[in-house]
Each structure stands twice: as C-alpha cells, then as structure tokens.
Structure 1
Amino acid sequence: MTDAPSLETELERARDLSVSDLADAIESIGFECTRCGACCKGHEREDGAETEPHTATVFPDEVRDLQAADDAPESASDYDWRDVARPMPYGLDDGDDGPTGETFEWALQTDACGDCVFYEEVGERADGTAKGACQVHEDRPLICETYPFSVALGGTSQPMGEAVDEAGMVRAHECEGLGRDISRAEAEELASALKTRAIRELEEAIGVRDNYAPTDADGVVVYDSEGPKRPDGTPVSDDA
C-alpha cells in the first residue's frame, strides 16, 4: 500500500499549480453565478427532519478581515469574533450546558435560519425566485470566492459534498451555475483565487498540526493554526 502524500508534499504541488491550466479546466466545465443563494444558505437534510446550517470554512485571518471590512453590516468596533465565525460543528457533542469537545476549523456564522449571516435577499430573479447577495462581497473568504470549485489535492477541502464534475485538477460541486459560458479573464481570476485557496488550506492544515497542544479546558475548543481558542476567538491560554 502506498502512503498518502505528506501535507508538505501537497503544499509544494499546490504552489506549483499552473493558473493557466486551472483556468482551462474551469473554462471546460463552465460557470456563471446565477445569484440563487444556494451556496450561502442552510440546506434541508435528506430525511427532512431539520435544516442543515451553512458550513463554509473561514481562516483565522479572514475572520479578522471580516471584522474590519468596510462593507460589513456593523462597524468593526461592534463586530466581534462570534459575529463572524463559529466553531465548525463536526466533532462536537451536545452537553448538558451546550456544545462541548474539540474541532479544527472555523465556519462562517449563521443566522436563526441556518443561512450565512452575511447573506441577504435583494429582489427576484427572472424565474421569480429570490436573488441573493453577500453583504461583504469584496472581503468574502476564499472558499466563497472560489465556489463551486476545489482542487484535487490531499489536505484541501471539498465544499458541500462530493464533486459532480471534474477536469484535470479541478473539481466542481453542485451548483446551478455550472455549464454556463465563462470568459477567459473570469476563468483566470477564479483560477488564481483557487490556487491561493489550495495553498492557504494546506498551510492552515500544517499549522494546526504543528501547533496542536491538547488542553483540558471545558466546553468547546477550536484548534486552528494559531493554537487552541475559545468560541469567541480568544486563546485558551488567556483563560482566567
């Protein structure tokens, strides 16, 4: 059996990716955002029991960028970590006093409906369905900027389940905008962001691994590349 490539090996592969080749792949698949909002909203579970909240990964520095975003719906002075991000729920348990356990990523914060807190509906599309918009579009995280695509490298994330199409190193995930014409300039811009995201995901994964130090802190602990944190983004070591 062949051992899986190390994160460092995958990081070097990510750094060597050709933006032109990625753009070729994106062009061959095709994409145009239809502003349906599906990638920003919660989703019904297959059993129909309840809504699955939106879970888009956000890096620690992206959280800080969103706190200070010029187009954020509140001023940076009023906008704390928990307004932007929440612990990724995977791996957490429901305790008597709320969630407990360890997780290794941050997810964009959601509202009471399970939608991204930055998502808003701004009118109707031609088919009568709601038109979606991002309140922090210019400062949106890389995973949002590059949706519905990901790169087929170990250590990188796949948004919203398995790929429905692929070309070369590029995977495409469920989205009604797939298969539509895209200009070369737009494909190259998307490809550049996709390469950046792949590099950042692997750097974050390496940082999480290298900075992991078990803690016996109660409640929820998020281990990111900067070390263990509380749900409000403060380091566990700062606990009184």
Structure 2
Amino acid sequence: MKSLESELERARDLDESALADAIEAIGFECTRCGACCKAKTGGCGGEADDQSESDPHTATVFPDEIRQLQAAGDYDFRDVARPMPYGLEEGPDGPEGETFEWALQTDDCGDCSFYAEADDGTGACTVHEDRPLICRTYPFSVALGGTSQPMGEAVDEEGLVRAHECEGLGRDIPRGEAEELAAALKARAVRELEEAIGVRDSYRPTDPADGEVVVHDSEGAKRPDGTPYER
C-alpha cells in the first residue's frame, strides 16, 4: 500500500490538461436538478416515512472551508458543519463517540442547509462562490489512496478520473470550463491528502464520555461546535 505522502506527491504532479481531457471526453453540464445537494432517501417528500430511515446529504468540508463559509455569511460553526456521522453510535441522547472530519450541515429534510429550490424545482447553492471543493468538482473525483472516491466509472485510460452518477454527464462542456473543473479536481485531491496526513499525525484517542461526540480533524480533537476538546 502506498503511503499518504507518496499519494500526495502523485496528486501534486497531476496533469491538469489530462484531467480536462477526461472531463471533456465524457462531457458535463449542471442541470440544477439538486440531486447532489439533497437527501438520497427519506427526508421531506422522500420515500421513507420516518426521518430516522433517511440517508441525509453527506459532503466532506475541511476546517478552512468551514471558516470561509462562516465568514461569507456570518454563520455560527454549527450552521455550516456537523460531525461526520460515520463511526458514531446512536446513544440514549443521540449520536456519540469519535469520528473523523466534518460534513456540511443539513436541514430537517436531510438536504444541504445551503440548498435552495425554486417553485419550478430548479436548485441553487446559496453559497455558490464559497462552496467547498467537493461541491465544485462533483460529479468527478480522482482515485488516489487517501482521497474520497465516490462509486463511479473510470473516464480515462488510467482509471484515475472517476465520474459519479449524475444526469448532467454526457453533455457538451466548453474547454475552458473543463480546465476550470480539472484545476479544482487537482486542488481537491491535494487538499484531501493533506488533511488525511494532518488527521493521522494529530490524532490522539479521547475516550469520550457517554453522550459526547469528538471530531478529529487536521487541527486536533474538537467538540461538535468546533471548539477544542479537552478532558
């Protein structure tokens, strides 16, 4: 298995032109359907009858991206982010345990809290200019060890660029937009690996008490409100 450091070097050496070629070859245009911003099942108007059965929108957001979003709209930390649910257990008073990284906050429907929908069903991001890298690059990802890899089909010969299911795939994309997306895709791969290394190096077991949630990111252990966790 390759080390995170070697994968980071691979990410930094990615050829943006080659990434753009792959994106241009498959094609993409956002249709503003909102599928990538909403709960996958259940939620408001979904298939599940109980919110506990739903699959809320879950998108990774890094500490610096959280601060950027906070500054953009004068939001509190919890308005922007929530503990990544993976690894947490459901206790008597709600989730508890240790988890790694943050997810964008969701509303009562399980949709991204920054998602808005017009009467005609057209979706929009209310923080579009400050949206995280994972949102900027959807539905594409780079398949390197230590990066987020949505299930998807390879769209280049090396199998490095992956495309997640999205109704906007297959549509013509101008070269300039493909290059812009490619640059964001490389930046995301680098950022994900830098964060993974930071989490690994800063992690210290915390043994949270019953009912407590501790989030480990590259800056250390934190409480759900983003403040440092100290016992």
Deviation at residue 207 of structure 1 after TM alignment: 0.1
1:62 matched to 2:65? The reply is yes
Q: Which residue of 1 aligns with 2:218?
A: 225
Moved over 3 A (4+): none
Partners of 1:164 and 1:171 within 8 A in 2: yes
The separation in 2 between residues aligned to 1:115 and 1:222, in whole angstroms, is 21
| Equivalent residue letter for 1:233 | G
Q: TM-score, structure 2 length as denominator?
A: 0.92
Deviation at residue 165 of structure 1 after TM alignment: 4.3
Q: Which residue of 1 aligns with 2:111?
A: 115
**Candidates 82, 85, 92, aligned match of 1:89:** 85
Write out aligned runs for 1:32-43 (5 A): 32-43=29-40
Q: C-alpha root-mean-square deviation of aligned residues, in Å?
A: 1.6
Partners of 1:55 and 1:108 within 8 A in 2: yes
1:133 matched to 2:124? The reply is yes
The separation in 2 between residues aligned to 1:53 and 1:136, in whole angstroms, is 19
Q: Which residue of 2 aligns with 1:127?
A: none
The separation in 2 between residues aligned to 1:104 and 1:117, in whole angstroms, is 21
| Equivalent residue letter for 1:36 | C
Unmatched tracts of structure 2, length 5 or more: none
The separation in 2 between residues aligned to 1:48 and 1:66, in whole angstroms, is 31
The separation in 1 between residues aligned to 2:144 and 2:119, in whole angstroms, is 38
SS in 1 for 2:19: helix
**Candidates 201, 221, 231, aligned match of 2:192:** 201
Number of residue pairs aligned between Structure 1 and Structure 2: 221
**Candidates 174, 177, 182, aligned match of 1:183:** 174
Partners of 2:97 and 2:208 within 8 A in 1: no
The separation in 1 between residues aligned to 2:89 and 2:155, in whole angstroms, is 35
**Candidates 7, 10, 24, aligned match of 2:4:** 7
1:106 matched to 2:102? The reply is yes
Q: Which residue of 2 aligns with 1:52?
A: 55
Partners of 2:98 and 2:208 within 8 A in 1: no
Q: TM-score, structure 1 length as denominator?
A: 0.89
SS in 1 for 2:122: strand
The separation in 2 between residues aligned to 1:166 and 1:211, in whole angstroms, is 35
1:174 matched to 2:165? The reply is yes
The separation in 1 between residues aligned to 2:208 and 2:85, in whole angstroms, is 17
Q: Which residue of 2 aligns with 1:28?
A: 25
| Equivalent residue letter for 2:68 | D
The separation in 2 between residues aligned to 1:166 and 1:22, in whole angstroms, is 10
| Equivalent residue letter for 1:90 | Y
Q: Deviations over 1:47-81 (max 9, x none)?
A: 95732000000001100000011xx3xxx1xx211
| Equivalent residue letter for 2:197 | I
The separation in 2 between residues aligned to 1:27 and 1:120, in whole angstroms, is 28
Q: Deviations over 1:83-103 (max 9, x none)?
A: 100001011001112211111
